[in-house]
Chains A and B, each alone.
Chain A
């Protein structure tokens, strides 16, 4: 085009910019709520609650004993979830373990013939103090935040160290 009329150009340009602006507005209007919604779990963590485990006076020395505790699952459902607790007494000191492996979070179990906690997924091993002694787990067996009132154990559904 050798000779253009300025008027025609600016109309095209105007329409072009207008389309872009409309697109940007729609993207923002849609995008901000959607992205905010997707990211919301990062900001709104569920509160940890306390629950009673039970009487731990009968737990024998150096023998992990399993308890099951019911916790609320989430804030918008009435359902509960059972969590497993291993209580270990070593010389009047109590360790309160969960059954969550620190490798891939598979369910760990106490193997009395081995004298160790074993994770069946990839062969991870923890000793009776929860230290990771074999296989791929990178951290010791997690403990629940807990308190002992007399002989009754209470735990929170959160770990002392995040995994």
Chain B
């Protein structure tokens, strides 16, 4: 770790050179808004790019095994998307890091780069790999048509590079929430929330790109003129949603485990999310998840009914089941800010006695049941839709299904923004739990400049 011995002090000295006008008071809020909104935008695009870099090669491989041309066309489209939009998200990221993070949270940024130097170093190189491989993968599509094995290998490497990149940045992000001994590199990488967060984010990126494919193809379907284009976009929209829902139904398990680790290692954040100021937002999130599953099930039911394929009836029944599950999941525990505040105000009574507690929703186990039902019903819906697919005539979809696809993508974006907001605010006022606060940014004495001159 000799590099660290040199870079660490250098970065700290750089921190000392920064203007001591670190944000205070209202400026903190301005900084948070600026950084928060840019980060949200970055993640909304970068998540798509990462997901596309992982899903595209998978679709190409599946298409090769099933010998179907439309898979290849879809994967090719994803490759085009990556080459067009990679630079947008990386520009935002570079702007964030070099200007906003260093400028506003300089002390934090130099600290985290010192601690997580190797993960960030590896991540930088995975970006190089990702860009190189993405461009090679896209532009050698036709030249390597006779050597599909080589082309798919390039795609596979691209997927691996993309996964590694997400893993490395998640090491940093999870360290901020549940820091461990930074001197031990294994404990840094295996800090308690790094695995759950990486799995959660990887699955989420893949699901997100699936839903966006669905919405994009829905729009293209409605605008398409040629019948073979209509067939393709109809099929691709359904395919995207299938991937999206299949992966989303893994999320409750992983998310629950993530929350458990947060409870064990960052109790303040967990309390804020489950019982405190963020709990209404968390309630909104579980409801939104249910609405996503419901929309997808309705899409499946409608799409099958449009062509008279069998299975639409059971899917409608599943949709009803999902509505009931959403009602079960959406019950608030209490409507106050903190339980202590509620108890202190003497309002810890059922709401029909003038209090602020909904006793029906007071048992956390019921929410776990709701999550399990979400997962089970969604698996059943996916399987039933797959069984009914042979009866579907691609290209003959109606407008209603396509509108559901667009709604699904909008809901997904809501979900991602909600979760980002919850995550950052659950840790507030800490930037590194228990070690560094946002306010701590301006309490640093700049190190004196070295005496120059002979």
Contacts and interface: CB of A to CB of B under 8 A. Distances in A.
Direct touch of chains A and B (CB < 8 A): yes
Interface of A: 123
A123 B264 CA distance: 7
Interface of B: 260, 263-264
Nearest to A123: B264
Contacts, number: 3
Nearest to B263: A123
A126 B325 CA distance: 32
B367 to A, nearest CB: 15
Contacts of A123: 260, 263-264
Nearest to B261: A123
3 contacts: A123-B260, A123-B263, A123-B264
The 3 tightest CB contacts between A and B, nearest first, are A123-B264, A123-B263, A123-B260
B339 to A, nearest CB: 14
B362 to A, nearest CB: 16
Nearest to B264: A123
Contacts of B263: 123
B273 to A, nearest CB: 16
A1 B249 CA distance: 65
A155 B264 CA distance: 34
A113 to B, nearest CB: 13
Nearest to A134: B263
Contacts of B264: 123
Contacts of B260: 123
Nearest to A114: B267
A123 B267 CA distance: 12
B262 to A, nearest CB: 12
B106 to A, nearest CB: 33
A35 to B, nearest CB: 39
A123 B263 CA distance: 10
B173 to A, nearest CB: 23
A123 B192 CA distance: 14
A1 B263 CA distance: 79
B427 to A, nearest CB: 21
A125 to B, nearest CB: 10
A47 B260 CA distance: 41
Nearest to B260: A123
A137 to B, nearest CB: 14
A100 B383 CA distance: 44
A123 B260 CA distance: 10
B428 to A, nearest CB: 24
B104 to A, nearest CB: 35
B408 to A, nearest CB: 35
A99 to B, nearest CB: 20
A123 B261 CA distance: 10
A109 to B, nearest CB: 16
B122 to A, nearest CB: 32
A120 to B, nearest CB: 11
A74 B324 CA distance: 54
B267 to A, nearest CB: 10
A121 to B, nearest CB: 12
B431 to A, nearest CB: 24
B260 to A, nearest CB: 8
A135 to B, nearest CB: 9
A7 B260 CA distance: 78
A149 to B, nearest CB: 42
A123 B270 CA distance: 15
B343 to A, nearest CB: 16
A152 to B, nearest CB: 40
B256 to A, nearest CB: 13
A118 to B, nearest CB: 10
B257 to A, nearest CB: 12
A148 B264 CA distance: 38
A64 to B, nearest CB: 22
B361 to A, nearest CB: 20
A97 B158 CA distance: 57
B76 to A, nearest CB: 48
A119 to B, nearest CB: 12
B94 to A, nearest CB: 41
